[in-house]
Every structure is written in structure tokens, then in C-alpha cells.
Amino acid sequence: MSQVIRIPANIYSRLEKHAKGFDTPANVIEKLLNHYEGIDRTLTQKQIIQTPSKDRDTKKYSFNNKTYGKGRLVLAITKEYISNNPNTSFDELLEILPKDIQGSTGVFSHQEDAQEIYARTGHKRHFIKPNELIQLSDCVIAVSTEWGTSNINNLINQAQSFGYTISPT
């Protein structure tokens, strides 16, 4: 069972400087402990091949004659869907874009939840600027910014099932 550790914001910010790509706080703490304890974590060639790269993927995608990075692509697709289906509710959108497409945080959250996460952690995990928020029939949502090579294709495949054309640039 996981334990919850509360870390002051200033220490969290220091830890964040040691993160690469999609490192979790636990991975960063483990790296620091390994360094402190003198544990050599040099990977064998076989492990390197099997380990996905933590380098930032900056691939761009074309959608509706515009070019987007992964997060902005998801925002544009979600906005387009709601523009074409303005009476969609939160629960209906959740059926169309289920949480498991993205993974841990889901494709979107209620605006209040997204803003609470930002207030609590200092990290924008959702697009929360006023022009980025999306009005549904029953609430306002914020789309997740947490997209990488491991989950973007799930969303692209779902969007293509709506008839949307998306291609890498």
C-alpha cells in the first residue's frame, strides 16, 4: 500500500528540477536516495532497449488545417466535438472520451477540480485559462495537459472514429 508524504511547495519545486519527462515524484525521490546511498543504477544494454525513452517527444499533429502539440491537439479535438454537439453533458462526454484513454487523470475534469489541483500542487495538469475551458450542457470542463507518446494514440484513434482527420506533421 502506498503512503502519502506531504512535501512543502519549496521542496517539491526543488525535486521538480530533477525530473525528466514524465518522471513521477516517487521516481525522483528514488533517484535521489540511490545517489545518496551510492547505489549504481547503470543499465545494461538490454534494459536500455526495453526501457522507453524519457526524452521529450515534440511531435506535432495536423487537425483542421492547424498544427498542434499533443496537449493542444486534445484540447482542439474536444472543443471541436462540443462545437458539433453543444448539448453534450459531462457524463455523455465521459462515455465518448473515457478516462482510460488518457490514463491516470482522464481526458478532462470539472473546472473546479482542475483548478484545485493547480492551487494545491502549483502544477497545471489541465488547460485552465478562460479561453481554454469548455462549456458543456451541465458544467464547465478543463482538458488534461498530460499527454505523451504512451497515450496520445488512444485519443487520436477515438477522434478518428468520429470522422476527424489527424495526421503527424
Instruction: Please determine, for residue 102, whether its predicted confidence score (pLDDT) is greater than 90.
Output: yes
Instruction: Please determine, for residue 49, whether its predicted confidence score (pLDDT) is greater than 50.
Output: no
Confidence band for 2, pLDDT divided at 50, 70 and 90: low
Q: What percent of the chain has pLDDT above 70?
A: 86
Query: Once rounded to an integer, what is the mean pLDDT over residues 25-36?
Result: 74
pLDDT of residue 142: 98
Distance of CA 70 to the CA centre of its chain: 9
* Residue reference for cell 462540443: 82
Query: pTM of the predicted model, to two decimals?
Result: 0.68
pLDDT of residue 44: 43
Average pLDDT score, the chain: 86
* The three grid cell numbers given for residue 82, joined into one nine-digit string: 462540443
| 13 Cβ contact list (under 8 Å, min separation 6) | 122
Residue predicted with more confidence, 99 or 45: 99
| 134 Cβ contact list (under 8 Å, min separation 6) | 78, 79, 82, 108, 140, 141, 142, 143
Sign of the alpha-carbon torsion through 113, 119, 124, 128: positive
pLDDT of residue 47: 45
Give per-residue pLDDT as tens, 71-89: 999 999 999 999 999 999 9
pLDDT of residue 16: 75
Instruction: Please determine, for residue 105, whether its predicted confidence score (pLDDT) is greater than 70.
Output: yes
Q: Which of 71, 155, 147 is nearest to 104 (CA)?
A: 147
